[in-house]
Amino acid sequence: MGIKLSHAAALIKGYAKNLTSVFSAGRLKKGRMLRIYKDAEIRLRKNGKIKIGDRVSVKNRSLISALNGAYIEIGNGCGISSDCKIVSHEKIVIGDNTILAPGVIVYDHDHKFGTNGVNKHDFVKSPIEIGRNCWIGAYTVILRGSKIGDNCVIGAHSVVKGEVPAGSVFIQKKEASIRKIDESIK
């Protein structure tokens, strides 16, 4: 129901034993016409919950992962392009009709670090909200605590930390430098 047989293999591959218990426990709620493409993964660990709306596609090699009681909600009509990573330790909400271009990373957590270095099992967490009708450009990284309003465009290769008001175009400029080759250097 909702998953086409040709796309079901990506969901079932490696997870067939756990799928029945996940659906019956209500930890994964999916709408109609969920399309999951080759090598895409949906992971639930330690009471994580994921809610996916109607007409959502998750393209090749993408990952949606709710860990340690975290919650992920993806609205109706969303498109998750190839190689995207949505990983939550707390809460990530993506509004209806939002498109994530290839390679987008959405993490609601950072590793804690200090004078003794980094602890790989200890995190600082803050929820992420991405509004409705947004377009997140290729290879953008959205960091913990970020809030992107409705109807926004985030330019490719941006790093978003903080708030982007509704109806905005966010472009992170990286200056290019072009110099002539000094002919005296050989």
Positive or negative torsion for Cα 139, 108, 39, 57 = negative
Catalytic residue from among 7, 89, 111, 157: 111
CA distance 106 to 104: 7
CA distance 108 to 101: 19
**Which residue, 153, 151, 145, is CA-closest to 132?**
151
Strands 117-125 and 109-114 come out as antiparallel
Q: Active-site residue 121, yes or no? A: no
CA distance 63 to 47: 17
Specify the 3-state DSSP secondary structure of 109.
strand
CA distance 25 to 44: 12
CA distance 173 to 175: 6
Backbone angles phi, psi at 137, to 5 degrees: -65, 160
Catalytic positions are: 111
